[in-house]
Structure 1
Amino acid sequence: MARRIEHSAHFPHTVATLHAAFIDEHYWRAWLQEVGGPGAKLDKVAVGEGTIDVAMTQSVPAEHLPSMVTKIRPGDLIISRTESWQALQGARAEGTFSAKVDGTPGQLRGTMSLTTDGNGSLLVMEGEVEVKLPVFGSKIESVIAGQVIELLDAEKDFTARWTASS
């Protein structure tokens, strides 16, 4: 059974400002450099008219993983990740995300929405983590969900600095 993930982040910037960052290839390159982990790289960036599709590879060194994970899957985790943003529709934008750890029967997927919130904007991410392993699957899903929330907090901090300096 999959574990739900929900995360929201408030920004003091407009939806248009945040969306402009999310569809900018330079944002993603800077983001990967700061938040992506060792060896992170952009595999594909397709920028359209107000849209973007990004595919990237990230890694989590084994020494930063709980022993429960390294017993089942030794070594560094290599994560293939995608993020897509659609064109801005008024003061709203929507997107999708996914991630898969190479060599494991698990995945993360979900949706994103960016809306006006008071004087700023609100980014809401909703998704689920699913690891298809008997006995250990739900425990690993819980660990991954916690790690994803930490990563989303780091991404929020980066995005706030990026948009403040733009």
Structure 2
Amino acid sequence: MQFERRRTFPVDAATLLAALTSRDYFDARHAMSGITAYRYDAFGPTERGLEIRIAREMEIRSNNVPAFAKRFVGQSATLTTAFLWTRTDRQPYQAQYEFTVGRIPVQVRGTMTLHDDAGGAVQDIRAEITSSVPLVGGKLVELVAGQLDKGLASDYRATLRYLNGERG
């Protein structure tokens, strides 16, 4: 499944990039959500680009999980979010990203680009959501796509708050 979202921000792309590549931003975003248990598995320059990988344990409420997906999900999972910023020296700034949730057999991989537009920055998010599971894989992909959309909407609101000076 292809997934695309476009968001606009009231700052220039360089300011948005600086936020999205700072520990302060991720710490503030977690604080805004009341999340205290997370860790940085990577945060810094590599030969391939600027790598950011954050993991956190999540409780999964089974009443929110459809019956067909329960055997894949479990009661808790590690959510891992990874970004590799491969272009930070000129626009469009670009990152590759990947999300995994425990042992759920769904892959979310894509790109994020940032560029200036009239009045601010534009963030384009493109992802491909796939599953290798026969029969129910498509339903798992739809389930994850819905959660990804909700998560990105929450991230957008938190990023706007961060850019307005809120830190927790």
Report TM bin, short chain: 0.7 to 0.9
Q: Which residue of 1 aligns with 2:38?
A: 40
What is the TM-score of this pair, normalised by structure 1?
0.85
Q: Which residue of 2 aligns with 1:101?
A: 101
1:61 Cα deviation (Å)? Answer: 2.3
Q: Which residue of 2 aligns with 1:122?
A: 122
RMSD: 2.2
Is 1:61 the equivalent of 2:59?
yes
1:77 Cα deviation (Å)? Answer: 2.6
Q: Which residue of 2 aligns with 1:87?
A: 88
2:106/2:140 contact within 8 Å kept = no
1:133 Cα deviation (Å)? Answer: 1.0
**AA aligned opposite 2:8:** H
- Counterpart CA distance in 2 for 1:8 and 1:27 is 20
C-alpha deviations, 1:17-69, integer Å up to 9, x for none? 10111121211222233348563322221147xx6311111344221742333
1:4 Cα deviation (Å)? Answer: 1.2
What is the number of residues matched between the two proteins? 161
1:81/1:98 contact within 8 Å kept = yes
CA 1:67–1:36 in structure 2 vs 1: closer, same or farther (change >3 Å)?
A: farther
1:73 Cα deviation (Å)? Answer: 2.4
SS of residue matched to 1:103: coil
Q: Which runs of 5 or more residues in structure 2 are unaligned?
A: none
**AA aligned opposite 2:116:** T
Q: Which residue of 2 aligns with 1:18?
A: 16
Q: Provide the identity percentage.
A: 20
What is the TM-score of this pair, normalised by structure 2?
0.84
**AA aligned opposite 1:31:** R
1:16/1:88 contact within 8 Å kept = no
**AA aligned opposite 2:22:** D
- Report 1:125-136 matches (<5 A): 125-136=125-136
SS of residue matched to 2:142: helix
1:88 Cα deviation (Å)? Answer: 3.4
